[in-house]
A = this chain, B = another copy of it.
Amino acid sequence: MHIYWKVRLLEIRQLRYFMQVCESGSLLKASEVLFISHQALSKSLSLLEKELGAALFYRTPKGMIPTQFGQELLEDSRPILAEWDQLNLKLEESATRHKGKIRLGLSGGLIYFGSKKIWEYFKELHPHTEIEPYEHGYIEGLKCLKAGTLDAVVISDYENTDGFITYSLPSTRRLLIVEKSNPLASKEELEIKDLRNEKFILCINDFAYNKFLRLCQAEGFTPDVRRTSDTVYMYKLCSEDGLCGLCIDSNTSNLVPKYPELRAIPFKDNAFPYPMMLAVRNNYPKPTLIKELVDFLTYSLNSVLY
């Protein structure tokens, strides 16, 4: 059984009709402006008056003249209807504001963004926005951004010296990869100073590399680091040659388990985090799209990370 009980509330339409009649001075003229029949308009107003319990107009053979009550309602309605129209205007534009393309660079360790699914989901949410994802090394990505062949780049540890507009994305942890035979492997958490005597093979970009150097130097030593741009190679050297590596949270569930002789250990107080950013070319014309993308990535990353 339906309980289709409906408290009739004032709707914007009624107010708009009422106001137009005030302005036009007669039902007929108002009905022409409103693109409805004057009969429907008459009924709408009568109903409104009945609901309010008082007349809004004097009916004359010359037209409709608002009563005192009508004049008061008119004054109260004007600002609301104005704001309402403004909002509607803005929303009508919204299709335009959301129409556009973002050529998006994804560097190195962020490949998991490349999974088609995430962009399909974005497309579903924002059918008028097109994301074109490209995978690059971070240097190439920034070069394209500068050249204007990319609109935005997702990059980690970025220290902006190029004047790009940047947005923070959720950070994740960085973890040390060591052989289980390494004494460090027994620890639950690491501090930077624990790394004093280790040798490293690192797959990280320049920004992160410099950060790592600074962190170690603050503890009074310079680490022995070799670098690579090949993740698999890094894991190989760690497991075969006993070097230390660095990975991030998502690797611990994906890659690390494939190397049973390795362990990933977090840093105490997330001392060496993995901050992600979106860098955007500063003359990109649709900031709305970027904001939406940042929001989406933030949401998605948080869902993935936690």
CB under 8 Å from chain B, chain A span 69-83: 69, 71, 73, 76-77, 79-80, 83
CB-CB under 8 A from A71, the residues of chain B are: 295
Number of this chain's copies in the complex: 2
The size class of the interface chain A forms with chain B is 35 or more
Please tell me if the beta carbons of A90 and B65 are within 8 angstroms of each other in the complex: no
0/1 per residue, A60-99, Cβ < 8 Å to B? Answer: 1000010111010100110110011001101100110010
Q: Within the complex, which residue of B11, B73, B94 is in contact with A69, where a contact is CB–CB below 8 Å? A: B94
Q: How far is the CB of A75 from chain B (nearest CB, A)?
A: 11
- For residue A147, CB closer than 8 A to chain B, the reply is no
Could you tell me the distance in whole angstroms from the C-beta of A271 to the nearest C-beta in chain B? 31
Contact of A114 with B by CB under 8 A: no
**Which residue in B53, B60, B129, B295 is a CB contact (below 8 Å) of A303?**
B60
Please, which residue of chain B has its CB at the minimum distance from the CB of A49? B125
Interface residues of chain A: helix, strand, loop or mixed (majority): helix
Q: Does residue A126 face the partner (Cβ distance < 8 Å to B)?
A: yes
A79 with B69, Cβ < 8 A, contacts A13-B11, A52-B94, A88-B9 known: no
- A9 surroundings in chain B (CB, below 8 A): 12-13, 88
A-B complex: 6 closest residue pairs judged by Cβ atoms: A55-B125, A68-B295, A53-B95, A68-B292, A12-B12, A54-B98
Q: Which residues of A are in contact with B by a Cβ distance under 8 Å? A: 9-13, 52-55, 58, 60, 65, 67-69, 71, 73, 76-77, 79-80, 83-84, 87-88, 90-91, 94-95, 98, 124-129, 291-292, 294-296, 299, 303
